[in-house]
Structure 1
Amino acid sequence: MTNMIKNFIYCPRCKGLLKRIDGRLIDCPKCHFHFYLAPAQTTALIMENSKRQILLTKRKFAPKKNYWDLPGGFINFKETAEESLRREIKEELNITLKQLTYFGSYWSYYPYKKIRYQTLCLAFTSHYDGQKISVNDDVKDYRFFSYKQISLDKISFVDIKTALKDYLKRVSS
Protein backbone atom coordinates (compact mmCIF):
# COMPACT_ATOMS: atom_id res chain seq x y z
CA MET A 1 0.00 0.00 0.00
CA THR A 2 1.50 3.32 -1.09
CA ASN A 3 1.20 6.53 0.88
CA MET A 4 -0.63 9.05 -1.31
CA ILE A 5 2.13 11.71 -1.21
CA LYS A 6 4.67 9.34 -2.81
CA ASN A 7 2.63 9.34 -6.04
CA PHE A 8 3.43 12.98 -6.74
CA ILE A 9 6.77 13.06 -8.57
CA TYR A 10 6.49 15.69 -11.30
CA CYS A 11 5.10 19.23 -11.26
CA PRO A 12 1.71 19.51 -13.01
CA ARG A 13 2.69 22.99 -14.22
CA CYS A 14 6.27 22.66 -15.59
CA LYS A 15 7.00 18.90 -15.28
CA GLY A 16 9.99 19.55 -12.98
CA LEU A 17 10.81 17.19 -10.11
CA LEU A 18 8.83 17.93 -6.98
CA LYS A 19 10.28 18.31 -3.49
CA ARG A 20 8.40 17.33 -0.33
CA ILE A 21 8.42 19.65 2.68
CA ASP A 22 7.06 18.65 6.12
CA GLY A 23 5.16 15.67 4.68
CA ARG A 24 2.24 17.80 3.48
CA LEU A 25 3.57 20.54 1.21
CA ILE A 26 4.85 19.62 -2.23
CA ASP A 27 7.03 22.27 -3.86
CA CYS A 28 8.50 22.66 -7.34
CA PRO A 29 11.93 24.32 -7.08
CA LYS A 30 11.82 25.10 -10.82
CA CYS A 31 8.54 27.11 -11.13
CA HIS A 32 7.70 27.54 -7.39
CA PHE A 33 4.38 25.72 -7.68
CA HIS A 34 3.06 24.75 -4.21
CA PHE A 35 0.64 21.92 -3.64
CA TYR A 36 -0.82 21.50 -0.15
CA LEU A 37 -1.85 17.95 0.52
CA ALA A 38 -4.93 17.71 2.74
CA PRO A 39 -7.02 14.76 3.89
CA ALA A 40 -10.16 13.72 2.04
CA GLN A 41 -13.20 14.77 4.07
CA THR A 42 -15.91 12.30 5.02
CA THR A 43 -19.03 12.27 7.16
CA ALA A 44 -20.55 9.67 9.48
CA LEU A 45 -23.85 9.47 11.31
CA ILE A 46 -24.40 8.08 14.79
CA MET A 47 -28.15 7.53 14.81
CA GLU A 48 -29.98 6.14 17.81
CA ASN A 49 -33.52 4.78 17.96
CA SER A 50 -35.94 5.07 20.89
CA LYS A 51 -34.53 1.83 22.39
CA ARG A 52 -31.07 3.47 22.64
CA GLN A 53 -29.69 1.30 19.86
CA ILE A 54 -27.24 2.58 17.25
CA LEU A 55 -27.73 2.02 13.52
CA LEU A 56 -24.80 0.36 11.77
CA THR A 57 -24.55 -0.51 8.09
CA LYS A 58 -22.74 -3.49 6.58
CA ARG A 59 -20.35 -2.55 3.77
CA LYS A 60 -21.16 -4.13 0.39
CA PHE A 61 -17.79 -3.44 -1.27
CA ALA A 62 -14.07 -3.25 -0.49
CA PRO A 63 -12.34 -1.82 1.36
CA LYS A 64 -13.58 -3.52 4.52
CA LYS A 65 -16.31 -5.46 2.73
CA ASN A 66 -18.80 -7.04 5.20
CA TYR A 67 -17.53 -4.94 8.12
CA TRP A 68 -19.97 -2.80 10.08
CA ASP A 69 -19.79 0.94 9.53
CA LEU A 70 -21.61 4.13 10.36
CA PRO A 71 -23.63 5.45 7.42
CA GLY A 72 -22.01 8.36 5.57
CA GLY A 73 -19.35 8.92 2.96
CA PHE A 74 -17.11 11.32 1.09
CA ILE A 75 -17.94 15.02 0.83
CA ASN A 76 -18.26 16.30 -2.75
CA PHE A 77 -16.90 19.62 -4.00
CA LYS A 78 -19.15 22.61 -3.17
CA GLU A 79 -21.02 20.54 -0.57
CA THR A 80 -21.18 21.22 3.16
CA ALA A 81 -20.70 18.36 5.62
CA GLU A 82 -24.40 18.48 6.49
CA GLU A 83 -25.46 18.43 2.82
CA SER A 84 -23.09 15.53 2.19
CA LEU A 85 -24.41 13.51 5.10
CA ARG A 86 -28.04 14.11 4.13
CA ARG A 87 -27.26 13.05 0.54
CA GLU A 88 -25.36 9.94 1.65
CA ILE A 89 -28.14 8.86 4.04
CA LYS A 90 -30.73 9.29 1.29
CA GLU A 91 -28.56 7.26 -1.13
CA GLU A 92 -27.67 4.51 1.33
CA LEU A 93 -30.82 4.12 3.45
CA ASN A 94 -33.52 6.03 1.53
CA ILE A 95 -34.48 8.15 4.54
CA THR A 96 -34.48 11.91 5.04
CA LEU A 97 -32.52 13.38 7.94
CA LYS A 98 -34.08 16.27 9.78
CA GLN A 99 -31.93 17.42 12.68
CA LEU A 100 -28.19 16.86 12.84
CA THR A 101 -25.88 17.67 15.74
CA TYR A 102 -22.13 17.90 15.23
CA PHE A 103 -20.33 15.33 17.39
CA GLY A 104 -16.62 15.42 16.55
CA SER A 105 -13.86 14.96 13.98
CA TYR A 106 -11.72 11.86 13.53
CA TRP A 107 -8.80 10.94 11.25
CA SER A 108 -8.21 7.64 9.52
CA TYR A 109 -6.80 6.03 6.39
CA TYR A 110 -8.82 4.76 3.45
CA PRO A 111 -7.06 2.19 1.26
CA TYR A 112 -8.20 2.41 -2.36
CA LYS A 113 -6.54 0.90 -5.45
CA LYS A 114 -3.22 0.39 -3.61
CA ILE A 115 -3.09 3.98 -2.37
CA ARG A 116 -3.58 4.89 1.29
CA TYR A 117 -5.56 8.14 1.54
CA GLN A 118 -5.72 10.04 4.80
CA THR A 119 -9.27 11.04 5.71
CA LEU A 120 -10.88 13.44 8.14
CA CYS A 121 -14.34 12.32 9.25
CA LEU A 122 -16.90 14.78 10.59
CA ALA A 123 -19.30 12.79 12.77
CA PHE A 124 -22.85 13.88 13.56
CA THR A 125 -25.66 12.50 15.71
CA SER A 126 -29.35 12.24 14.99
CA HIS A 127 -32.39 10.42 16.33
CA TYR A 128 -34.10 7.76 14.19
CA ASP A 129 -37.72 8.79 13.72
CA GLY A 130 -39.09 5.50 12.37
CA GLN A 131 -38.91 6.14 8.61
CA LYS A 132 -38.86 2.94 6.53
CA ILE A 133 -35.25 2.08 5.71
CA SER A 134 -34.33 0.40 2.43
CA VAL A 135 -30.66 -0.26 1.70
CA ASN A 136 -29.16 0.99 -1.56
CA ASP A 137 -25.84 2.11 -2.99
CA ASP A 138 -22.86 0.54 -1.20
CA VAL A 139 -24.78 -0.83 1.81
CA LYS A 140 -25.37 -4.58 2.04
CA ASP A 141 -27.46 -4.58 5.22
CA TYR A 142 -28.24 -2.56 8.34
CA ARG A 143 -29.03 -3.30 11.95
CA PHE A 144 -29.66 -1.48 15.21
CA PHE A 145 -27.21 -2.57 17.93
CA SER A 146 -27.46 -2.06 21.67
CA TYR A 147 -24.39 -0.40 23.17
CA LYS A 148 -23.16 -3.76 24.53
CA GLN A 149 -23.65 -5.54 21.18
CA ILE A 150 -21.21 -3.27 19.33
CA SER A 151 -17.97 -5.17 18.73
CA LEU A 152 -15.25 -2.70 17.71
CA ASP A 153 -13.14 -5.42 16.06
CA LYS A 154 -15.95 -5.79 13.47
CA ILE A 155 -16.09 -2.04 12.75
CA SER A 156 -14.62 -0.84 9.46
CA PHE A 157 -12.14 2.01 10.02
CA VAL A 158 -10.18 3.71 12.82
CA ASP A 159 -12.21 6.94 12.62
CA ILE A 160 -15.50 5.07 12.97
CA LYS A 161 -14.20 2.98 15.88
CA THR A 162 -12.96 6.10 17.67
CA ALA A 163 -16.20 8.01 17.09
CA LEU A 164 -18.22 5.08 18.44
CA LYS A 165 -15.89 4.75 21.48
CA ASP A 166 -16.28 8.47 22.22
CA TYR A 167 -20.05 8.31 21.80
CA LEU A 168 -20.43 5.26 24.03
CA LYS A 169 -18.21 6.90 26.66
CA ARG A 170 -20.31 10.07 26.54
CA VAL A 171 -23.70 8.33 26.83
CA SER A 172 -22.54 6.07 29.68
CA SER A 173 -21.23 8.90 31.87
Structure 2
Amino acid sequence: MSHPLELFRFCPVCGSNKFIENNNQSKRCETCGFIDYINPKAAVVAVITNTRGDILVCRRAKDPAKGTLDMPGGFTDLNETAEEAVIREVKEETGLTVTATRYLFSLPNTYKYSGLNVPTMDLFFECDVLETSGITAQDDVTEAWFIPRNEIDPSQFGLTSIQKGIRRIIKEKEK
Protein backbone atom coordinates (compact mmCIF):
# COMPACT_ATOMS: atom_id res chain seq x y z
CA MET A 1 0.00 0.00 0.00
CA SER A 2 1.45 3.36 -0.98
CA HIS A 3 1.66 6.25 1.43
CA PRO A 4 -0.99 8.93 0.74
CA LEU A 5 1.64 11.67 0.47
CA GLU A 6 3.52 9.89 -2.35
CA LEU A 7 1.04 11.24 -4.90
CA PHE A 8 1.65 14.86 -3.90
CA ARG A 9 4.73 16.15 -5.71
CA PHE A 10 4.21 19.91 -5.52
CA CYS A 11 3.90 22.19 -2.51
CA PRO A 12 0.27 23.33 -2.14
CA VAL A 13 1.45 26.75 -0.87
CA CYS A 14 4.12 27.85 -3.39
CA GLY A 15 3.90 25.17 -6.12
CA SER A 16 7.55 24.12 -5.77
CA ASN A 17 8.56 20.65 -6.91
CA LYS A 18 10.95 20.50 -3.94
CA PHE A 19 8.23 18.94 -1.80
CA ILE A 20 10.08 16.13 -0.02
CA GLU A 21 9.44 13.53 2.65
CA ASN A 22 9.90 15.12 6.07
CA ASN A 23 9.05 11.97 8.06
CA ASN A 24 6.55 9.11 7.82
CA GLN A 25 3.63 11.46 8.48
CA SER A 26 4.59 14.62 6.59
CA LYS A 27 6.18 16.28 3.58
CA ARG A 28 8.18 19.53 3.68
CA CYS A 29 8.73 22.14 1.03
CA GLU A 30 12.43 23.01 0.66
CA THR A 31 11.46 26.31 -1.00
CA CYS A 32 8.97 27.91 1.41
CA GLY A 33 9.25 25.64 4.47
CA PHE A 34 5.59 24.51 4.49
CA ILE A 35 5.04 21.14 6.19
CA ASP A 36 1.98 19.05 5.28
CA TYR A 37 0.94 16.36 7.77
CA ILE A 38 -1.20 13.40 6.79
CA ASN A 39 -3.68 13.05 9.65
CA PRO A 40 -6.69 10.76 9.68
CA LYS A 41 -10.03 12.07 8.46
CA ALA A 42 -12.82 11.82 11.02
CA ALA A 43 -15.65 9.41 10.19
CA VAL A 44 -18.64 8.26 12.22
CA VAL A 45 -20.48 4.95 12.56
CA ALA A 46 -23.98 4.54 13.99
CA VAL A 47 -24.89 1.50 16.09
CA ILE A 48 -28.68 1.37 16.12
CA THR A 49 -30.71 -1.42 17.69
CA ASN A 50 -34.43 -2.12 17.77
CA THR A 51 -36.43 -3.27 20.81
CA ARG A 52 -35.29 -6.90 20.25
CA GLY A 53 -31.62 -5.90 20.21
CA ASP A 54 -31.22 -6.50 16.46
CA ILE A 55 -28.61 -4.27 14.79
CA LEU A 56 -29.30 -2.00 11.82
CA VAL A 57 -27.09 -2.82 8.84
CA CYS A 58 -26.90 -1.37 5.35
CA ARG A 59 -25.68 -2.55 1.97
CA ARG A 60 -23.09 -0.23 0.40
CA ALA A 61 -24.18 1.40 -2.87
CA LYS A 62 -20.72 2.64 -3.83
CA ASP A 63 -17.08 1.65 -3.74
CA PRO A 64 -15.07 0.98 -1.79
CA ALA A 65 -16.62 -2.38 -0.94
CA LYS A 66 -19.77 -1.82 -3.01
CA GLY A 67 -22.43 -4.45 -2.28
CA THR A 68 -21.04 -5.47 1.12
CA LEU A 69 -22.60 -4.86 4.51
CA ASP A 70 -21.97 -1.68 6.44
CA MET A 71 -23.47 0.38 9.22
CA PRO A 72 -24.89 3.88 8.75
CA GLY A 73 -22.21 6.54 8.84
CA GLY A 74 -19.68 8.55 6.90
CA PHE A 75 -17.26 11.45 7.03
CA THR A 76 -17.68 14.50 9.21
CA ASP A 77 -18.19 17.79 7.40
CA LEU A 78 -16.21 20.95 7.99
CA ASN A 79 -17.24 22.67 11.27
CA GLU A 80 -19.45 19.72 12.25
CA THR A 81 -19.13 17.76 15.50
CA ALA A 82 -18.95 13.97 15.38
CA GLU A 83 -22.37 13.85 17.05
CA GLU A 84 -23.87 16.16 14.41
CA ALA A 85 -22.25 14.05 11.69
CA VAL A 86 -23.68 10.75 12.93
CA ILE A 87 -27.16 12.30 13.24
CA ARG A 88 -26.91 13.70 9.69
CA GLU A 89 -25.51 10.49 8.18
CA VAL A 90 -28.24 8.31 9.74
CA LYS A 91 -30.92 10.66 8.34
CA GLU A 92 -29.28 10.77 4.90
CA GLU A 93 -28.81 7.00 4.60
CA THR A 94 -31.86 5.58 6.39
CA GLY A 95 -34.38 8.39 6.91
CA LEU A 96 -34.33 7.69 10.67
CA THR A 97 -34.20 10.52 13.22
CA VAL A 98 -31.54 10.17 15.92
CA THR A 99 -32.66 11.46 19.33
CA ALA A 100 -29.52 10.67 21.38
CA THR A 101 -25.91 9.61 20.79
CA ARG A 102 -23.38 7.93 23.07
CA TYR A 103 -19.73 7.56 22.10
CA LEU A 104 -18.56 3.93 22.22
CA PHE A 105 -15.00 3.65 20.83
CA SER A 106 -12.79 4.49 17.85
CA LEU A 107 -10.87 2.41 15.31
CA PRO A 108 -8.35 3.48 12.67
CA ASN A 109 -9.10 2.54 9.08
CA THR A 110 -7.90 3.10 5.53
CA TYR A 111 -10.55 4.17 3.05
CA LYS A 112 -9.80 3.98 -0.68
CA TYR A 113 -11.17 7.13 -2.32
CA SER A 114 -10.37 8.51 -5.78
CA GLY A 115 -7.31 6.28 -5.99
CA LEU A 116 -5.95 7.39 -2.62
CA ASN A 117 -5.68 5.33 0.54
CA VAL A 118 -7.15 7.85 2.97
CA PRO A 119 -6.42 7.20 6.66
CA THR A 120 -9.54 7.61 8.80
CA MET A 121 -10.43 7.51 12.47
CA ASP A 122 -13.85 5.87 12.72
CA LEU A 123 -15.82 7.00 15.77
CA PHE A 124 -18.54 4.56 16.80
CA PHE A 125 -21.71 5.91 18.44
CA GLU A 126 -24.68 4.12 19.93
CA CYS A 127 -27.69 6.00 18.60
CA ASP A 128 -31.28 6.12 19.82
CA VAL A 129 -33.81 6.80 17.10
CA LEU A 130 -37.30 8.24 17.22
CA GLU A 131 -38.68 5.00 15.80
CA THR A 132 -37.25 2.10 13.82
CA SER A 133 -40.10 1.72 11.33
CA GLY A 134 -39.97 3.59 8.07
CA ILE A 135 -36.37 2.87 7.20
CA THR A 136 -35.69 4.14 3.69
CA ALA A 137 -32.38 3.19 2.06
CA GLN A 138 -31.01 6.26 0.32
CA ASP A 139 -27.82 8.17 -0.47
CA ASP A 140 -24.87 5.74 -0.11
CA VAL A 141 -26.90 2.59 0.69
CA THR A 142 -29.13 0.32 -1.39
CA GLU A 143 -30.74 -1.54 1.53
CA ALA A 144 -31.11 -1.06 5.28
CA TRP A 145 -32.56 -3.62 7.69
CA PHE A 146 -32.15 -5.10 11.15
CA ILE A 147 -30.28 -8.37 11.68
CA PRO A 148 -30.43 -10.38 14.90
CA ARG A 149 -27.13 -9.97 16.73
CA ASN A 150 -26.43 -13.74 16.73
CA GLU A 151 -26.88 -13.92 12.93
CA ILE A 152 -24.34 -11.22 12.07
CA ASP A 153 -21.24 -12.40 10.22
CA PRO A 154 -18.52 -9.75 10.54
CA SER A 155 -16.77 -11.05 7.42
CA GLN A 156 -19.74 -9.83 5.34
CA PHE A 157 -18.83 -6.20 6.15
CA GLY A 158 -16.59 -4.65 3.51
CA LEU A 159 -14.57 -2.19 5.59
CA THR A 160 -11.95 -3.47 8.04
CA SER A 161 -12.85 -1.06 10.84
CA ILE A 162 -16.53 -2.01 10.60
CA GLN A 163 -15.62 -5.72 10.78
CA LYS A 164 -13.55 -5.07 13.90
CA GLY A 165 -16.22 -2.79 15.35
CA ILE A 166 -19.09 -5.24 14.86
CA ARG A 167 -17.00 -8.01 16.45
CA ARG A 168 -16.38 -5.76 19.44
CA ILE A 169 -20.06 -4.80 19.68
CA ILE A 170 -21.17 -8.42 19.62
CA LYS A 171 -18.50 -9.44 22.15
CA GLU A 172 -19.38 -6.56 24.54
CA LYS A 173 -23.05 -7.56 24.53
CA GLU A 174 -22.14 -11.18 25.38
CA LYS A 175 -20.49 -10.07 28.63
Q: What is the TM-score normalised by the length of structure 2?
A: 0.92
Are residue 3 (structure 1) and residue 7 (structure 2) matched?
A: no
1:163 to 162, 165, 171: 165
What is the rounded CA distance, in whole Å, between the counterparts of 1:117 and 1:58 in structure 2? Answer: 21
Q: Which runs of 5+ in 2 are unaligned?
A: none
1:77 is matched by which residue type in structure 2?
L
* Higher RCO structure (Cα 8 Å, ≥6 apart): 1
Q: 2:77 — aligned with what?
A: 76
1:113 partnered with 2:93: no
Task: Give the TM-score, by structure 1 length.
Answer: 0.94
Superposition pairs for residues 10-89 of structure 1, below 5 Å? 10-16=10-16, 17-89=18-90
How many residue pairs match? The answer is: 173
Displacement of 1:131 after TM fit? 4.1
Contact 1:47-1:126 within 8 A present in 2 as well: yes
Structure-2 separation of matches of 1:165 and 1:131: 26
Gaps of 5+ in 1: none
Distance in 1 of aligned mates of 2:80 and 2:156: 30
Query: Which of structure 1's runs of 4+ aligned residues deviate more than 4 A?
Result: none
Aligned match of 1:138:
140
Are 2:111 and 2:117, in contact at CA under 8 Å, matched by a contact in 1?
A: yes
The residue that corresponds to 2:174 in the other structure is: 172
SS in 2 for 1:45: strand
Give me the whole-angstrom Cα distance separating, in 1, the residues matched to 2:140 and 2:44.
15
- Quote the offset at 1:9 in angstroms: 1.2
Q: 1:10: Cα distance to partner?
A: 1.4
Give 3-state SS (helix, strand or coil) of 1:136's partner: coil
Query: Aligned equivalents of 2:159 and 2:125: distance in 1?
Result: 16
Correspondence for 1:149: 151
What CA distance in whole angstroms lies between the structure 2 residues aligned with 1:115 and 1:94? 30
Contact 1:107-1:158 at 8 Å conserved across structures: no
The range that moved more, 120-129 or 41-50, is 120-129
